[in-house]
């Protein structure tokens, strides 16, 4: 019976949601309607819904642009509007026929033909995340946000994802960050799914104003391109020439090297870290501050900034390991810092060749222990160009969605 229940739920999600809401008082908003999604509004509920049908599953999804919590399938719609429980939803929807002549069974076959559609046409996921037309069509994101169409040869089904190209140090695409409402995956450039190679690149926007090579005011670094676009929609300053970067939620030595070369190449006035407001985001900030170097310091061949590297690694669920590698004479100065003294009995000091010190210490993996590391790094490194911008909620897309509900 449980299997039949699941099949019934899946069939409910394939009911023609557009016709369903039209029969319940909604009207088509012709000015925003598209072949990829339908836009409907209700004077009764004072809301506006964007509806999209995914070809791979046949499921209809919607979201209310005025209420970020009002989204999902026809089941969620009835729960939100009519306060139905699941049993009442089942009884109510059994009189409707699914809008599908296809059978959606089994797992996706391994054999697929994938390609990138350079002209962005299916915006449903971006709109679902609260991004508006002005942001999506901004010059900063031209050819930086794509549709990746995955065609299942066996079943003749299309999968349409939003794709953010990940670049290497030569500006070549080596992977994609692909997203839709139920899918988030990094893929390699040869479209080999779940291959870690794709996670070693960066998504980099165009400058917000001006041409390539012009003076850059701010280089913003985020964990996702969606957060970058959300930040742009929330805070973009007219007249400020910015570039946005996403690490696609990962941190690797290769990504760090690409980012360092980018900083040296574009020489921004400010490097702003916009990672998530959670423990993982704080750890990202510590690693960037601890390992990146100002482009002004890179130019100075006589300085030893490159010989001060601070890493933070997870060490089990509740602990982190902080690693400081620097010159012995630099360590003699650093060890007088209050942060070092507070951990005095926990440091393991290893003196290496070439007058190098490698110091390690275990730190609790909590906000109270991690935030002081940021202050410590700022106090011992020349980081005048770097600043941190924490979102109010978990990330800047959450901030944007919260604002849209006010």
Asked whether residue 139 falls in the same domain as residue 209, the answer is yes
Q: Does residue 101 belong to any structural domain of this protein?
A: no
The domain in which residue 39 lies consists of 2-93
Asked whether residue 44 falls in the same domain as residue 183, the answer is no
- Average pLDDT of the residues in 81-101: 78
- For residue 297, the model assigns a pLDDT of 57
- For residue 106, the model assigns a pLDDT of 30
Asked whether residue 395 falls in the same domain as residue 376, the answer is no
Q: Are strands 242-246 and 218-222 parallel, antiparallel or unpaired?
A: parallel
- Asked which of 61, 93, 125 is the last residue of a domain, the reply is 93
Q: Does residue 98 belong to any structural domain of this protein?
A: no
Asked whether residue 53 falls in the same domain as residue 130, the answer is no
Q: By mean pLDDT, which of 48-57, 317-326, 365-374 is the weakest?
A: 48-57
Q: Does residue 283 belong to any structural domain of this protein?
A: no
Residue keyed to tokens 């929807």: 93
Q: Does residue 294 belong to any structural domain of this protein?
A: no
- For residue 119, the model assigns a pLDDT of 64
- Asked which of 37, 60, 93 is the last residue of a domain, the reply is 93
- Asked which of 93, 119, 150 is the last residue of a domain, the reply is 93
- For residue 26, the model assigns a pLDDT of 85
Q: Which of 55-64, 92-101, 189-198, 375-384 has the highest average model confidence (pLDDT)? A: 375-384
**pLDDT above 70 for 158:** no
Q: What would the pLDDT profile of 159-178 be if each residue is shown by its tens digit?
A: 678 989 999 888 888 888 88
Put the strands of the sheet holding 270-273 in their side by side order. Answer: 203-204, 242-246, 218-222, 270-273, 386-388
Q: Taking the model in full, what pTM does it have?
A: 0.70
- Average pLDDT of the residues in 69-97: 86
Q: How many domains does the chain have?
A: 3
Asked whether residue 397 falls in the same domain as residue 375, the answer is no
Percentage of residues of the chain with pLDDT beyond 90:
41
Asked whether residue 222 falls in the same domain as residue 348, the answer is no
For 212, counting Cβ atoms within 10 Å of its Cβ (0-12 exposed, 13-18 middle, 19+ buried), the class is exposed
Q: Does residue 133 belong to any structural domain of this protein?
A: yes
Q: Which DSSP letter does residue 6 get? A: H
Cα 240 from Cα 220, distance rounded (Å): 12
Asked whether residue 378 falls in the same domain as residue 397, the answer is no
Cα 406 from Cα 403, distance rounded (Å): 5
Q: Is 322 left (phi over 0), alpha (psi -120 to 50) or beta?
A: beta
Q: Does residue 284 belong to any structural domain of this protein?
A: no
3-state helix, strand, coil in the chain (%, to 5): 35, 30, 40
């Amino acid at each position: 019976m449980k299997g039949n229940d699941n099949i019934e739920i899946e069939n409910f999600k394939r009911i023609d949601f557009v016709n369903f809401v039209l029969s319940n008082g909604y009207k088509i908003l012709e000015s925003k309607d598209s072949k990829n999604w339908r836009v409907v509004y209700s004077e009764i509920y004072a809301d506006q819904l964007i509806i999209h049908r995914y070809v791979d599953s046949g499921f209809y999804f919607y979201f209310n642009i005025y209420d970020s919590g009002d989204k999902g399938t026809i089941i969620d719609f009835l729960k939100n509007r009519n306060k139905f429980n699941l049993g009442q939803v089942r009884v109510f929807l059994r009189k409707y026929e699914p809008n599908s002549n296809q059978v959606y069974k089994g797992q996706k076959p391994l054999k697929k033909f994938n390609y990138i559609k350079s002209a962005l046409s299916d915006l449903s996921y971006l709109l679902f995340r609260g991004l508006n037309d002005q942001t999506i069509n901004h010059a900063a994101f031209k050819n930086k946000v794509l549709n990746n169409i995955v065609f299942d040869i066996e079943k003749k089904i299309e999968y349409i994802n939003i794709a953010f190209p990940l670049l290497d140090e030569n500006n070549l695409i080596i992977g994609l960050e692909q997203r839709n409402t139920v899918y988030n995956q990094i893929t390699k450039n040869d479209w080999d799914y779940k291959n870690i190679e794709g996670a070693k690149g960066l998504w980099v926007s165009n400058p917000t104003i001006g041409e390539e090579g012009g003076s850059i005011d701010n280089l913003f670094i985020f964990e996702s391109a969606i957060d970058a676009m959300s930040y742009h929609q929330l805070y973009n300053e007219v007249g400020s020439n910015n570039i946005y970067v996403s690490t696609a939620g990962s941190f690797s030595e290769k990504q760090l090297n690409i980012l360092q070369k980018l900083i040296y190449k574009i020489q921004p006035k400010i490097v702003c870290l916009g990672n998530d407001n959670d423990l993982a985001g704080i750890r990202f900030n510590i690693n960037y501050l601890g390992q990146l170097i100002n482009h002004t310091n890179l130019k100075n061949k006589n300085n030893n900034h490159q010989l001060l590297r601070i890493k933070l690694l997870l060490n089990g669920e509740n602990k982190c390991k902080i690693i400081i590698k620097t010159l012995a004479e630099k360590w003699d100065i650093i060890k007088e810092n209050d942060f070092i003294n507070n951990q005095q009995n926990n440091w393991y000091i290893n003196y290496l060749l070439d007058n190098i010190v490698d110091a390690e210490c275990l730190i609790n993996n909590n906000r109270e222990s991690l935030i002081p590391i940021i202050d410590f790094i700022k106090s011992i490194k020349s980081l005048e160009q770097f600043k941190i911008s924490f979102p109010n909620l978990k990330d800047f897309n959450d901030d944007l969605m919260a604002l849209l509900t006010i």
